[in-house]
């Protein structure tokens, strides 16, 4: 519901944990993942590290304890050994299937759509824990997490942060003593059992731990790699390399650890940096941010053989759409520019109206695009199919 989303965005996003039980949610998660899916990945998909991690009571098992070669014709030494995983799981270890947004079809599609809707990069892991077992002790993540309980029951405890809004380079181990004390001494903000269909939102920095109860527990962690204001600071600072005055050498024999020597040069450097920041425009910054953020999630998969056939067979009447999850921007001008995560493509100004329509996310039929005759529409669409911007509809 739109109202529920608005409430979450204003009252919880990045600031408060939220537990929602299955009856209050629109659907369970068995269409996304299951214990059967986990068994298939572990036994039949030829997974390699780092797509699997195994842990018990906070200690991560070395890869060599559950990997080996794939046998004749697949002599790669870090493939997952299903027999070794079974033995470790039977002895109480938690199995972590990592990056399922790259390996399990339903979650590939789910992550692509969620990243598009949320505007933040998405990763998805699954945690499968034996009965009465715990994989990890209290810790915090440097990304926001949605926990979706898929099977079994797991008791979750969530505490307020000891380090608010941690960045990617500020892991919980930097504050391990404070984390342990808070988890032991502070009252939790969530202390409850998740059952299939339940969901828990844990903002980055919030401490959390979980323990499986009477049966095997499986949950998905949908992580949103939060884009922060510090990202803009980083890119603004990187642009300072374009300022010649900020690239000049410090004095010969300069000791940067000496406050007195530092005081002699810091005011000038500060003034130069502030002047640079004030003169930087959004047009200077946006290309750097596109390159850094638009590629964080891959767009929907393309079947190479079928896609090549679609390019060959393209004709008037073919229906196409923008590739789901592909970030792009049409910039008017002469030439017209199509900005993509890793490159820009230019076109004659005459295609602007048709190009803008093709990139609006809706389905469009070749032969009905505005501003171009049918042969030119075929040329434009073939170029966009070849660049993997468009895909044919089924």
The pLDDT of residue 1 is 38
Q: What is the pLDDT of residue 352?
A: 98
CB 224 within 8 A of CB 149: no
Kindly tell me if the per-residue pLDDT of 324 is higher than 50: yes
Query: Hey, what are 213's tokens?
Result: 């109860």
Mean pLDDT in residue range 122-143: 92
Q: What is the mean pLDDT of residues 218-241?
A: 95
Q: pLDDT tens for residues 239-270?
A: 999 999 999 999 999 999 999 999 999 999 99
pLDDT at 135 over 90: no
Three-state SS letters, 176-216: HHHHHHHHHHCCCCEEEEECCCCEEEECCCCEEEEEECCCC
Could you list the beta-strand ranges (E) of 258-376: 319-322, 329-331, 336-339, 344-347, 364-365
CA dist 60 and 359 (Å) reads 45
Beta partners for 158? Answer: 190, 208
CB of 338 closer than 8 Å to CB of 377: no
Residue 252: predicted pLDDT? 94
- Mean pLDDT for 80-91 is 96
pLDDT at 2: 42
Please report, rounded to a whole number, the percentage of residues in the chain having pLDDT higher than 70: 99
* pLDDT tens per residue across span 6-62: 999 999 999 999 999 999 998 789 899 999 999 999 999 999 999 999 999 888 999
- pLDDT classification of 75: cutoffs 50, 70, 90: confident
pLDDT, one tens digit per residue, over 178-224 is 999 999 999 999 999 999 999 999 999 999 999 989 889 999 999 99
- Per-residue pLDDT, 251: 92
Domains and CATH numbers, the chain: 2-224 (2.60.120.650), 229-293 (no CATH), 304-392 (3.90.930.40)
Instruction: Out of 71-80, 110-119, 164-173, pick the least confident.
Output: 71-80
Residue (of 298, 316, 312, 324) closest to 391 by Cα position: 324
Confidence of residue 284 (pLDDT cuts 50, 70, 90): very high
């Amino acid at each position: 519901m739109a109202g529920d989303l608005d409430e979450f965005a204003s009252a919880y996003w990045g600031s408060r944990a939220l537990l929602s039980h299955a009856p209050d949610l629109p659907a369970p998660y068995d269409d996304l993942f299951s214990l059967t899916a986990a068994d298939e990945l572990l036994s039949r998909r030829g997974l390699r590290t780092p797509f699997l991690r195994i842990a018990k009571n906070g200690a991560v098992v070395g890869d060599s304890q559950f990997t080996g070669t794939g046998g004749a014709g697949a002599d790669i030494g870090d493939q997952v050994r299903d027999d070794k995983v079974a033995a470790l799981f039977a002895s109480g270890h938690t199995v972590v299937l990592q990056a399922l947004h790259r390996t399990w079809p339903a979650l590939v599609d789910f992550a692509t759509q969620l990243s598009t809707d949320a505007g933040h990069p998405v990763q998805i892991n699954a945690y499968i824990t034996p009965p009465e077992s715990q994989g990890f002790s209290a810790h915090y993540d440097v990304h926001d997490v949605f926990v979706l309980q898929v099977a079994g029951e797991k008791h979750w405890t969530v505490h307020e942060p000891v380090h608010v809004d941690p960045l990617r380079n500020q892991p919980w181990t930097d504050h391990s003593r404070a984390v342990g004390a808070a988890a032991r001494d502070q009252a939790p903000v969530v202390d409850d059992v998740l059952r299939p269909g339940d969901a828990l939102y844990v903002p980055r920095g919030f401490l959390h731990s979980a323990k499986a109860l009477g049966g095997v527990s499986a949950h998905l962690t949908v992580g949103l790699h939060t884009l922060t204001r510090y990202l803009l600071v980083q890119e603004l600072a990187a642009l300072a390399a374009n300022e010649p005055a900020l690239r000049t050498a410090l004095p010969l024999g300069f000791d940067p650890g000496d406050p007195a020597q530092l005081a002699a040069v810091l005011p000038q450097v500060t003034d130069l940096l502030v002047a640079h920041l004030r003169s930087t425009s959004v047009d200077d910054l946006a290309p750097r941010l596109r390159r850094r953020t638009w590629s964080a999630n891959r767009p929907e998969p393309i079947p190479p053989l079928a896609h090549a056939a679609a390019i060959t067979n393209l004709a008037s009447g073919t229906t196409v759409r923008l590739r789901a999850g592909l970030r792009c921007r049409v910039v008017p001008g002469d030439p017209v520019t199509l900005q993509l995560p890793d490159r820009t493509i230019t076109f004659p100004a005459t295609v602007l109206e048709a190009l803008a329509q093709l990139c609006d996310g809706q389905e469009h039929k070749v032969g009905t695009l505005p501003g171009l005759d049918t042969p030119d529409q075929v040329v434009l669409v073939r170029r966009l199919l070849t660049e993997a911007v468009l895909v044919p509809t089924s």
